[in-house]
Structure formats: structure tokens, C-alpha cells
């Protein structure tokens, strides 16, 4: 993503005609992608055509292939499904269909196509690109096109955006719609949980995914399911029934009142026989469980997109337009993907080939290959699922001399994900034979009351969906009384400590690390698992709880926007949390289509407010009929001490001269959310297990398990074992923060982060990794266009 000045230089790129379509099954976020393509296209002085009804729009042309304007896509960020329609178009699978598609494109002057769809749609797009010269040749021979037309449009530019709820495309961690669909599944299973628990019932929940088990796997982790059935990890024929009974029975005996089994539509056994939800139900009934089946069906495609999908669709839509403009005839067609938190371009052909090879691998019963071809985290997630479900059978238990005492503490304000992370860490540790302790009510709880207790399987098994903090949290730091902290940790012989929280957790880690000389017990492995709505922990671009917060804000803003739209002349100034970090404000602005965002990183001035009001005027001037939509300004709580939320609203009212007015909206603590989002739940599990492995790896030589610990960790942190228990080779690395940095997942030492990355005055990292969101939002809100015109 380019910065503002680079964007400006690209304004001179000559006009081009681009077509955009949504194809295959619909997914949440497709509308946001189309909006981004249309507006970015117009910003770069292109004409953007929508192909209505997928490839049918290209094949039939006419009114199904028409230009969209800036106003046509107003408010589309918040809409589910796709407003330009999608279809499964059989004609396009035939050469004759593609011939008329080529004809319609050339006669409309279009030679670039952005396709948002699944692997089928992108396969079709690639075939179209490879056939393009011969299609034009054939049209020339049929005297439908003139020579100059063939020459002018001799190459077709194709860019793929992956819109699919299945998350089945290779070379990207996520597809547009997958997390929204997962969120719907979690909501439904959470509802089912209440009734299952009440009647002590078993539920078999069937989720979509004919060829890909991503939804089934992630739903299994996020809903704390007892078992899952997915195509990539088929169980042994027949044996799966006994295994299912064993795991469910064991969990029941440990105190679970309900049983939940997630079955992917395409679940199979090792001989490729289908494992249907009915067959699974029969097994549970045989066990004597009162069992019901719920087939979620199209609910999974329903509703509006979650914050992540809106962000993904928006950033990828803009990047797709840039890719079209930057492509040369020799550039391979790109597919826009995301790796960890970075938008990337991957060769489309390779991505499609790899995706198809998964189906082949499954058909050939090469299941290890199939799972390895899925996104980079699929196998890890599968192992994570086992860690928190069936590994409680003792199969992963370590020899006695390798079992540890591991503790967790929550520090700082509550955020969603604290409990899910604690649950995952606890279940993982118990499966390994470790003893897991929870320090209650933060460091003050430890110092004042010595509150530290063992957690068992039944204590935590249902914490995956609980917001807040079950073990209690507060902002106190260990410096309150380091000696007493050391005393209690020593008393329980703690050999690894996981600190879950935000900037206070970060500070606490540094205090413990700095006190190591005086209190040798702190030489144990220490790690921070970032969890805060503000996402302001140095060393990571993602913190647990921030996704839940963004989803809360998306919901809140959609609602106030609707109210603003109904009153026709109103703008809402919404104040969001984030402390001195503008991450939440910038992200919210991008995914709600806000007209302006006030952040601490950018000075708010009278001049900037004046520009905002001009933008508002311009927007109201075009706010008619079906295109009418509510207006939003997003302001971070600490953006300015002078220009408060109320003052900005008052200034708007004053300058509205009766044509428009303003209201403030302050969601406050609602932003923490009641239950964690599905993304926060699965990341809580992922991060927590990584932290446990970090602690294990530093306590004894690795390879004690069949897991595959990060080799970087293995090399950097070799523990000098034996007599000198708790003494480390490189002390500072053993106190680290786990996080996502660009497209990488890593542990970074607190010392390095403290000295080079932390901004103590503003309580955040020095790297502003979200600035591009403001630049894109300025483009899509019309601000950059207005500046151009002025």
C-alpha cells in the first residue's frame, strides 16, 4: 500500500476501463470489495463497469455490463451479500460463452477484469486470459471485431480477489467472507450451547465446506467442540465411531453437561466414504445421549460482514485496481491475498493450481499432502484443536521430570479473549502433564492475598466464549512489591509465567526481567500475550480483544449510521477507545466508510475540521434517493485535548447552517464486547499454545513432543539444563512478547522492544502500522478527490 504522496503521483496514470464482478457463491464483504474497486478506479481516473450476475454479465452484455459511479456504491461497506449479483454461469464454461464475453468487453473498451469469487471463478478467469488472443482472433475472423480493436486490446489483465466463505484458496490466510461465516457459526453454536447445557444434550452441527474443512476446524476451536470431522483429516474407517464415543464419554465424565460435534459438509473417512451428520448423530444416540442435529445451511452466508472481512475486502479491492494499473503484458495475473496481517499479491495460476491439488490429494488419499497445501496455519490449527479437545487422553503427557508448573496472570483492563487464552493454555498444559496455576486479581491479588490456585479441566472447559476475566484482572504492576511476587512464585515453584494483557502487561514483563538479578525466580521463561482492545502493545500488529472491539464498533456505527440516514441531515461523531493509539479509530473509519477519522497520530486543527465540513457539504449535496446514507466521523478518545467530540459536533452544527446537524455517539465500555469474536477465540488458542511451547522449550530441550516448535525459538533460546535450573544463556530473550509483525509471527525480547520500539509517554509502539488505512479511507471517502478538485 503506497503512502499519500505516491498515490498522488499515480493520479496521472491514463484512463482505463475496468470491469468488476462477483461470482460463485456469495460471501459477506463482496459489496465492500466492489465499492473499493469502483471508488479506487474512479480515483485513478478509470471507468469501472460492473458485470451483473457474475460471468453472465460478460456473456450477455447490454444492461448487465454497465458503468458504476461514485455515488452508486455509497454505503456498500455495511451490506451483506453482493448487490451486483452473482451466479453460476454455465455458458462461460463453454468457449462460445467466453467468445461473447470477449466481444462484449472489447466493444465496451474493457480489457481489465477484477473477479471476486472462489477457485472456480478464478479458474474461469485464468482460462479466459489464456484464451484471450485466440478469442479476439476468432472474433476478427467472424468479422465481429476490426483489426484496430484486436491490436488495442490484445492483452487481457485479470486480477483475482478471493471471495468465498470456505477459505479454501491456497496462498492466502483468509478469503473475503470466511471470518464472517465463522462468526455466524459461533453465534449459532453459542445459542445451541445454552439449550444443550440445560437438557444435557448432544448436538451435531453441520457446517459448510464440501471440499475444505477450514470452517469446521475453526468452529471446532472457537466453540470448544468435543470433536470435528473435516475432509483434510479423515479418521480410520469404522474406528472413528469408537473414538468419538471415547472422547465424548471422557468429557462427560469430567463434568461437561453438553456434547458438541462439528461436521463439515464434505467430511469423509480414510476410504473416502462420507461421514454425514446423521451418521455422527447415530453414534451419539448409541451412547445414550439425547442428540439433535442442526444443519446451519445458508445462515452461514447471511448477515453483514465482520470488521476483518470489510477491511480485507476494502484493502484488497484498492490493491486490485493498483495491480491492474501497474501490470505489464508480461506480469503474471495476480491474486490478492493476505499473510498474517499483510496484503500480498500472489500468482493467480499457482494459487488456483495449488488449491486444485488439495482436491486431488484427497481423492488420492494423500491426506498429509492435502493438509500441507492448505494455508500456513491450517495444520497448526488442527494440532491446536487436538490440544484443547482430545489430547486430554494422556497421549501427550510428558515424562515426570519434564512436567512443569506454569502460571498465568491477567494484567490491565479486561478485553475479550482473556478467558479463551487462559482456557487454551490450561488445557494444553494439562494434556502435557504440567500443573497450571492462575494468579487471581492481577499482581495486587498475589501481593495482598497470595491468590494463586490450580486450574483443572472442568474449571476452564467452557471459557472459550466468555468475555471479561474469570480469574480477575487489574492494572497493578509487580513493582508494587517485587519481593512478595517472587516469594509466591517461588512457593509454588513456578517455572514459566504467561502475562496476558495490554501495555501494563508489557510494563510488568519489563519490571520482572529487570529484577532478575535480585530475585532469581524471575529467570524463568516469561512471556506477554497481548490482549487489549487498543492494540497498543509494542511488537505486535494484533492483540486479543481488538477484533471483538472492532466488531462491536462496526455494529454500533451501522446502527447510528442508519439513524443518521433516516433523519437525512445528520452526521454522527463517534468517539472510540484506543488511548493514544489511533489503531481502533483508523480501522473503524475504514470499515464503516466514515468521512473522517481523528487520531492522536495526526494533529486536529481548525483547518482540518474545515476540510471535513467541506467534505460533509459535498456529501450531502449528492445524498439523494437510494444512494442516501448516514454520515459518520470517527474520533479517537485522545485525538486532541481541545477539539473534543462534543466541540467537533458543535462546530459541525454551527457550520451546517440549518442544512445539516450533528450528534455525538460514545459507545464506551460496550467496545470490550460480551463474548469474544471467533477470530479472537482462535487466535487466543493459537497464541496461548505458542506461549506454552515457548515456556516448555526454554525449560528443557525441545523435541519432547511431536509438535513442531518454531525453529527460531529453538535456536535462540537454548536452555542450559541440569543443575543450573532456571539459568538462561541469553537472559533477555527468555522474557518476550508474542506477536504478529507484518506477515510474520514471532517472539521478540522485551529488552529489544523496550529499548527500540516502546513509546512510554504515549503508551504504544513507535511503529504506526495502520497509517495505510487512513490513506485508503481518504481515497474512498472522497477526501483526496476533493483536494484534487480544489
- Sequence-ordered list of residues with C-beta below 8 angstroms from that of 599, at least 6 positions apart, any chain: 582, 585, 586, 636, 639, 774
What grid cell was written down for 556? 454500533
- Window 716 to 775, contacts with ligand ATP (CB under 6 A): none
Provide the pairing of β-strand 735-741 with 526-530: parallel
Q: For ligand ATP, which residue has the nearest CB?
A: 120
State the DSSP H helix or E strand holding residue 67, giving kind and residue range, or none if neither: strand 65-67
- Sequence-ordered list of residues with C-beta below 8 angstroms from that of 210, at least 6 positions apart, any chain: 166, 265, 266
Residue 49 contacts residue 66 (beta carbons within 8 Å): yes
Q: Rounded to the nearest whole angstrom, what is the least distance from the CB of residue 299 to ligand ATP in the complex?
A: 16
Which residue among 20, 22, 25, 524 contacts ligand ATP (CB under 6 A)?
25
52 binds ligand ATP per the rule CB under 6 A? no
Q: Rounded to the nearest whole angstrom, what is the least distance from the CB of residue 122 to ligand ATP in the complex?
A: 7
Partners of residue 113 on adjacent β-strands: 19, 158
d(CA 312, CA 169): 15
Q: What are phi and psi of 665, to 5 degrees?
A: -140, 120
538 binds ligand ATP per the rule CB under 6 A? no
117 binds ligand ATP per the rule CB under 6 A? yes
344 binds ligand ATP per the rule CB under 6 A? no
Total residues contacting ligand ATP by CB under 6 A comes to 18
Residue 35 labeled ligand binder? no
Phi-psi region of 501 (alpha: psi -120 to 50; beta: other; left: phi over 0): left
Residue 301 labeled ligand binder? yes
From the list 119-127, 523-531, 613-621, 758-766, the region that binds ligand ATP by CB under 6 A is 119-127
Q: Rounded to the nearest whole angstrom, what is the least distance from the CB of residue 108 to ligand ATP in the complex?
A: 19
Nearer to ligand ATP, 123 or 223 (CB): 123
- Sequence-ordered list of residues with C-beta below 8 angstroms from that of 290, at least 6 positions apart, any chain: 199, 200, 201, 202
Residue 461 CB-density burial (10 A; 0-12 exposed, 13-18 middle, 19+ buried): buried
Which residue among 82, 164, 599, 671 contacts ligand ATP (CB under 6 A)?
164
What grid cell was written down for 356? 486444485
**Within 10 Å of residue 441's Cβ, how many Cβ atoms?**
19
Residue 672 labeled ligand binder? yes
Helix (H) and strand (E) counts for the chain?
A: 28, 24
From the list 87-95, 322-330, 405-413, 459-467, the region that binds ligand ATP by CB under 6 A is 87-95
Residue 25 labeled ligand binder? yes
From the list 40-48, 114-122, 226-234, 510-518, the region that binds ligand ATP by CB under 6 A is 114-122
Q: Rounded to the nearest whole angstrom, what is the least distance from the CB of residue 104 to ligand ATP in the complex?
A: 15
Contact letters (x/-) for ligand ATP, 363-382, by CB under 6 A? --------------------
- 166 flagged as catalytic: yes
Q: Rounded to the nearest whole angstrom, what is the least distance from the CB of residue 583 to ligand ATP in the complex?
A: 32
Q: How far is CA 562 from the centre of its chain?
A: 25
23 binds ligand ATP per the rule CB under 6 A? yes
Residue 300 labeled ligand binder? yes
Nearer to ligand ATP, 175 or 535 (CB): 175
Nearer to ligand ATP, 131 or 187 (CB): 131
Residue 119 labeled ligand binder? yes
355 binds ligand ATP per the rule CB under 6 A? no
Q: Rounded to the nearest whole angstrom, what is the least distance from the CB of residue 132 to ligand ATP in the complex?
A: 13
Q: Rounded to the nearest whole angstrom, what is the least distance from the CB of residue 493 to ligand ATP in the complex?
A: 52
Residue 637 labeled ligand binder? yes
Helix, strand and coil in the chain, % to nearest 5: 50, 15, 35
- DSSP label at 625? G
d(CA 105, CA 114): 13
Helical ranges in 44-173 per DSSP H? 55-60, 95-107, 119-141, 147-152
Q: Which of 26, 111, 166, 319 is catalytic?
A: 166
661-665, strands of its sheet edge to edge:
596-598, 631-636, 570-576, 661-665
- DSSP label at 412? S
Nearer to ligand ATP, 121 or 304 (CB): 121
24 binds ligand ATP per the rule CB under 6 A? yes
Which residue among 4, 69, 109, 120 contacts ligand ATP (CB under 6 A)?
120
178 binds ligand ATP per the rule CB under 6 A? no
Q: Helix or strand or coil: residue 319?
A: helix
Distances (CA, A) of 610 to 236, 614, 620, 681: 68, 6, 15, 42
Nearer to ligand ATP, 118 or 782 (CB): 118
Angle at 720 between CA 717 and CA 724, to 5 degrees: 140
Residue 607 labeled ligand binder? no
Residue 577 labeled ligand binder? yes
Q: Rounded to the nearest whole angstrom, what is the least distance from the CB of residue 782 to ligand ATP in the complex?
A: 32
172 binds ligand ATP per the rule CB under 6 A? no
Nearer to ligand ATP, 131 or 393 (CB): 131
The residues assigned a catalytic role are 166
Residue numbers of the site for ligand ATP (CB under 6 A)?
Answer: 23-25, 55, 88-89, 92-93, 117-121, 123-124, 127, 164, 166
Going by the annotation, the residues of the binding site for ATP are 25, 88-89, 118-121
Amino acid at each position: 500500500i503506497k503512502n499519500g504522496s505516491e498515490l498522488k503521483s499515480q493520479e496521472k496514470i491514463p484512463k482505463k476501463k475496468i470491469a468488476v464482478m462477483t461470482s460463485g457463491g456469495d460471501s459477506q464483504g463482496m459489496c465492500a470489495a466492489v465499492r473499493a474497486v469502483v471508488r479506487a478506479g474512479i480515483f485513478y481516473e478509470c471507468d469501472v463497469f460492473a458485470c451483473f450476475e457474475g460471468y453472465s454479465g460478460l456473456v450477455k452484455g447490454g444492461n448487465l455490463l454497465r458503468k458504476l459511479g461514485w455515488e452508486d456504491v455509497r454505503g456498500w461497506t455495511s451490506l451483506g451479500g453482493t448487490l451486483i449479483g452473482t451466479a453460476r454461469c454455465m455458458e462461460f464454461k463453454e468457449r462460445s460463452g467466453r467468445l461473447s464475453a470477449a466481444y462484449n468487453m472489447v466493444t465496451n473498451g474493457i480489457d481489465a477484469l477484477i473477479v471476486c469469487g472462489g477457485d472456480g471463478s478464478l479458474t474461469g478467469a485464468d482460462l479466459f486470459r489464456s484464451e484471450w488472443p485466440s478469442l479476439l482472433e476468432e472474433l476478427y475472423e467472424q468479422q465481429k471485431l476490426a483489426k484496430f480493436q484486436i491490436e488495442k486490446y490484445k492483452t487481457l489483465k485479470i486480477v483475482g480477489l478471493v471471495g468465498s466463505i470456505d477459505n479454501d484458496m491456497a496462498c492466502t490466510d483468509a478469503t473475503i467472507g470466511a471470518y464472517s461465516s465463522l462468526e455466524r457459526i459461533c453465534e449459532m453454536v453459542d445459542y445451541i450451547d445454552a439449550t444443550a447445557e440445560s437438557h444435557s444434550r448432544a448436538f451435531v452441527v453441520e457446517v459448510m465446506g464440501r471440499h475444505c474443512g477450514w470452517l469446521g476446524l475453526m468452529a471446532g476451536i472457537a466453540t470448544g467442540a468435543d470433536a470435528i470431522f473435516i475432509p483434510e483429516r479423515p479418521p480410520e474407517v469404522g474406528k472413528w465411531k469408537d473414538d468419538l464415543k471415547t472422547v465424548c464419554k471422557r468429557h462427560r465424565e469430567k463434568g461437561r453437561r453438553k456434547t458438541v460435534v462439528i461436521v463439515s459438509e464434505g467430511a469423509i473417512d480414510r476410504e473416502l466414504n462420507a461421514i454425514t451428520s446423521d451418521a455422527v448423530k447415530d453414534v451419539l444416540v448409541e451412547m445414550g445421549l439425547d442428540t439433535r442435529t442442526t444443519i446451519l445451511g445458508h445462515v452461514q452466508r447471511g448477515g453483514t460482514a465482520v470488521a476483518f472481512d470489510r477491511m480485507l475486502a476494502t484493502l484488497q479491492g484498492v490493491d486490485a485496481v493498483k495491480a491492474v494499473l501497474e501490470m505489464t503484458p508480461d506480469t503474471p495475473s495476480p491474486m490478492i491475498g493476505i499473510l498474517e496481517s499483510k496484503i500480498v499479491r500472489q500468482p493467480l495460476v499457482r494459487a488456483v493450481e495449488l488449491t486444485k491439488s488439495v482436491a486431488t490429494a484427497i481423492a488420492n488419499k494423500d491426506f498429509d499432502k492435502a493438509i500441507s497445501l492448505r494455508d500456513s496455519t491450517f495444520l497448526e490449527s488442527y494440532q491446536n484443536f487436538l490440544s484443547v479437545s482430545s489430547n486430554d487422553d494422556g497421549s501427550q503427557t510428558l515424562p515426570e521430570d519434564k512436567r512443569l508448573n506454569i502460571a498465568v496472570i491477567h494484567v490491565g483492563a479486561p478485553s475479550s479473549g482473556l478467558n479463551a487464552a487462559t482456557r487454551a493454555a490450561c488445557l494444553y498444559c494439562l494434556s502435557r502433564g504440567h500443573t497450571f496455576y492462575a494468579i487471581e486479581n492481577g499482581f495486587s491479588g498475589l501481593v495482598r492475598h497470595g491468590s494463586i490456585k490450580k486450574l483443572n479441566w472442568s474449571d476452564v472447559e467452557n471459557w472459550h466464549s466468555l468475555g471479561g476475566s474469570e480469574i480477575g484482572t487489574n492494572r497493578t504492576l509487580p513493582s508494587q512489591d517485587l519481593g512478595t511476587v517472587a516469594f509466591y512464585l517461588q512457593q509454588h515453584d513456578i517455572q514459566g509465567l504467561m502475562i496476558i494483557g495490554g501495555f501494563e502487561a508489557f510494563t510488568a514483563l519489563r519490571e520482572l526481567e529487570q529484577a532478575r538479578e535480585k530475585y532469581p525466580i524471575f529467570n524463568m521463561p516469561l512471556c506477554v500475550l497481548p490482549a487489549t482492545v487498543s492494540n497498543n502493545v509494542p511488537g505486535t500488529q494484533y492483540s486479543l480483544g481488538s477484533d471483538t472491539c472492532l466488531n462491536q464498533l462496526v455494529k454500533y456505527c451501522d446502527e447510528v449510521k442508519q439513524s443518521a440516514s433516516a433523519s437525512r441531515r445528520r452526521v454522527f461523531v463517534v468517539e472510540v477507545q484506543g488511548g493514544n493509539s489511533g489503531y481502533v479509530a483508523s480501522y473503524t473509519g475504514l470499515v464503516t466508510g466514515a468521512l473522517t477519522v481523528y487520531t492522536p497520530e495526526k494533529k486536529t486543527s481548525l483547518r482540518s475540521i474545515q476540510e471535513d465540513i467541506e467534505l460533509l457539504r459535498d456529501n450531502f449535496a449528492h445524498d439523494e434517493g437510494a444512494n442516501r446514507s448516514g454520515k459518520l466521523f470517527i474520533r479517537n478518545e485522545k485525538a486532541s485535548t481541545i477539539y473534543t467530540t462534543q466541540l467537533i459536533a458543535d462546530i459541525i452544527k454551527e457550520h451546517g447552517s440549518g442544512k445539516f446537524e450533528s450528534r455525538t455517539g460514545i459507545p464506551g465500555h460496550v467496545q470490550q464486547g460480551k463474548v469474544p469474536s471467533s477470530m479472537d477465540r482462535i487466535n487466543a488458542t493459537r497464541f496461548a499454545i505458542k506461549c506454552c511451547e515457548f515456556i516448555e522449550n526454554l525449560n528443557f530441550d525441545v523435541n519432547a513432543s511431536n509438535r513442531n516448535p518454531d525453529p527460531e525459538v529453538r535456536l535462540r533460546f537454548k536452555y542450559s539444563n541440569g543443575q543450573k535450573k532456571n539459568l538462561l544463556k541469553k537472559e533477555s530473550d527468555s522474557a518476550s512478547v508474542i506477536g504478529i509483525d507484518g506477515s510474520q509471527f514471532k517472539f521478540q525480547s522485551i529488552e529489544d522492544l523496550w529499548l527500540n520500539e516502546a513509546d512510554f509517554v504515549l503508551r504504544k509502539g513507535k511503529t504506526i502500522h495502520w497509517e495505510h488505512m487512513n490513506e485508503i479511507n481518504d481515497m474512498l471517502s472522497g477526501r483526496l478527490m476533493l483536494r484534487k478538485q480544489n
